[in-house]
Amino acid sequence: MSKWLADVSPWDRAVDVAARSIVTRLDQVRRSLKRSVKRPGVAENVHQLRVWSRRADVALSIYEDMLPPKRLARMRRTLKQVRRVAGRIRDCDVYAERLAGANGRWPISLCSERRKAQRKLAALFEKLDGGRELSKQLRGLIDRLHDRNKLSRETYSAHAQSSLQRLIPAFFASSPGENSGDEELHRFRISGKALRYALELFSGAFAPKFRNGLYPALAVLQEKLGSINDLVVGQKRLREQIEQTRDPALLGELSQDSAETSEELERARQEFRSWWTPVTAQELQTGFEEFLLPVRA
């Protein structure tokens, strides 16, 4: 399923585009959840489950003012559960990419951790009645969306502009300084994700440059910050193992892995700082600002 909305016009009703946005994303969450449970050994299924659950949550956030509060809160709680459980599996998969040897064999403790996390995902799938409960929640949410907004004439373009006028300043306000630590980089990454997924929802309201020029810059930013985050999480796991192990041989291997990870992490930080300069930030901000002018027929 494409992350872009096809066949939408800037002058469509915002409520109609909202319904399509929410349905497509939550339907993909349901499909990814089923695939992750039915084919537990495929890491990409869990990765896509995490990505689509975040996309769905951004869609709910963007159209929050149109949605019934109680149903919205319930759906967001469900998505949070899915992300949290899937996140434990995804952390194992990412960490395993660093630890697995040439034969691809995982450490026994990591295998055990992933199996435990996979069982929790299967239990959540069962709790959601194989995804049917998610579909039921979605139908109720969309029905109430239409009921609450049947007289609304707000356009898709107008809603896109008002949303971006909030998201864009928040993104640039979270931009890290030269000496910012990993926590600040992580917050910037989260803010960038929210803006990136919003661009996917709003691309149909603007000229092609919006999708072809601005979006790729955010994708690069997410890739660089994602690499840093993976290394930070991996380093934390290594240090925990070093503290717990009593095997001298294993301790030596872990210490070497930790030293190599530290070096790689520092290189990733420097690469990001060399790329995300004040000039780069200003150019991107200027590019966004030209799209916040009213769209005229």
Q: Write down the pLDDT at residue 277.
A: 93
Q: Span 110-122, mean pLDDT?
A: 92
Q: Read off the pLDDT of each residue in 236-254 and give the average, rounded to a whole number.
A: 84
Mean pLDDT is lowest, of 19-33, 129-143, 282-296, for 282-296
pLDDT (average), residues 43-60: 96
Residue 33: both structure tokens together = 């959840």
Higher pLDDT, 63 or 252: 63
Given this model, what pLDDT does residue 87 score? 93
- Asked if 124 contacts 85 with a C-beta cutoff of 8 angstroms, the reply is yes
- The answer, yes or no, to whether residue 104 has pLDDT greater than 80, is no
Q: Is the pLDDT of residue 6 over 90?
A: no
pLDDT score at 297: 37
Q: What is the mean pLDDT of residues 235-262?
A: 86
Provide the pLDDT confidence category of residue 191 given band limits of 50, 70 and 90: very high
Q: Counting Cβ atoms within 10 Å, is residue 273 exposed (0-12), middle (13-18) or buried (19+)?
A: middle
| Predicted confidence band of residue 27 (pLDDT cuts 50, 70, 90) | very high
Q: What's the mean pLDDT in 4-22?
A: 94
pLDDT of residue 102: 43
Distance of CA 226 to the CA centre of its chain: 10
Q: Which of the four pLDDT bands, split at 50, 70 and 90, describes residue 250?
A: confident
Structure tokens at 53: 């659950």
Task: Quickly state the pLDDT bin for 1 (edges 50, 70, 90).
Answer: low
Is pTM beyond 0.85 here? yes
The pLDDT of residue 156 is above 70: yes
Indicate if the pLDDT at residue 240 is higher than 60. yes
Residue 257's pLDDT band, with cuts at 50, 70 and 90, is confident
Q: With a cut of 80, say whether residue 64 has pLDDT above it.
A: yes
**What is the predicted pLDDT for the residue at 296?**
42
The pLDDT value given to residue 105: 64
pLDDT-above-90 percentage for the chain: 70
